[in-house]
Chains A and B, each alone.
Chain A
Amino acid sequence: QVQLQESGPGLVKPSETLSLNCTVSGGSISTYYWSWIRQPAGKGLEWIGRIYNSGGSTNYNPSLKSRVTMSVDTSKNQFSLKLSSVTAADTAVYYCRRNFDFWGQGILVTVSS
């Protein structure tokens, strides 16, 4: 069964760029939509955006669009998220997800100096 694993720094300084990777195992990244979702502590889920590997088409949440970049590295079976100019409000658990079914375990990213 497909598994997803987020990785990246757990601490990012304000105004810097948050960078996360999601490694996919047990299946190819060549098809499906691949999404990022985040969840501040004790709060609900916010969809950040998605990428479709075929053609690299992306869709971002308008609330974050100016700061978000997603990409896919087919050779590593991995996709990534970059969120620029972060503030404390970006502190959250970040999840990656395939289509609507399989999720990663999540990674806590704290924005603090």
Chain B
Amino acid sequence: DIVMTQSPLSLSVTPGQPASISCKSSQSLLHSDGKTYLYWYLQKPGQSPQLLIYEVSNRFSGVSDRFSGSGSGTDFTLKISRVEAEDVGVYYCMQSIELPHSFGQGTKLEIK
């Protein structure tokens, strides 16, 4: 199984400041079709996860442009340009290149 490792596991950010979360996979997520199957989700308190980014860097419909994804192969990053109070929650990366699909442990973002 592909292991997804996130860091840090928690971070506390002042509103208006940037934040960055790393996700590393135990195998390359680059498929022979040229796509890289890495996703980012945010689970707000008491809610189900919501898709932020798909295939490394594509923002899902309605997602703020403050969120951006980057990376390749086995190393990926989610960046929030200016953190807002509504960004609080747990961020997960997920791979779908290989079954079973697997998630990172989650990174909890709180506001200072």
State the CA gap A60–B96 with chains docked (Å).
13
Mark interface residues in A85-113 (1 if CB within 8 Å of B CB, else 0).
Answer: 00000000001000011111110000000
Mark interface residues in A47-67 (1 if CB within 8 Å of B CB, else 0).
Answer: 101000000000111110000
Contact among B48, B54, B101 for A95, CB-based, below 8 A: B48
Which residue in chain A gives the minimum CB-CB distance to B37?
A100
Instruction: Please report whether the interface of chain A is mostly helix, strand, loop or mixed according to DSSP.
Output: loop
The answer, yes or no, to whether B102 is at the interface (CB within 8 Å) is yes
Instruction: Please report whether the interface of chain B is mostly helix, strand, loop or mixed according to DSSP.
Output: loop
B48, A100: Cβ atoms closer than 8 Å: no
Interface footprint category on A: 10 to 19
B102, A106: Cβ atoms closer than 8 Å: no
The answer, yes or no, to whether B100 is at the interface (CB within 8 Å) is yes
Residue among A45, A49, A63 with the highest chain B CB neighbour number at 10 A: A45
The answer, yes or no, to whether A44 is at the interface (CB within 8 Å) is yes
A44, B106: Cβ atoms closer than 8 Å: yes
A100, B96: Cβ atoms closer than 8 Å: yes
Find chain B residues with CB under 8 A from A100 CB: 39, 51, 54, 94, 96
State the CA gap A44–B49 with chains docked (Å).
11
Contact among B48, B51, B92, B102 for A105, CB-based, below 8 A: B48
Contact among B54, B96, B100, B105 for A62, CB-based, below 8 A: B100
Residue pairs across A and B with Cβ atoms less than 8 A apart, 30 shown, are A44-B92, A44-B103, A44-B104, A44-B105, A45-B49, A45-B92, A45-B94, A45-B103, A45-B106, A47-B100, A47-B102, A47-B103, A49-B100, A59-B100, A60-B100, A61-B99, A61-B100, A62-B100, A95-B48, A95-B49, A100-B39, A100-B54, A100-B94, A100-B96, A101-B60, A103-B48, A103-B50, A104-B48, A105-B47, A106-B48
Binding site for A on B (CB under 8 A): 39, 47-51, 54, 60, 92, 94, 96, 99-106
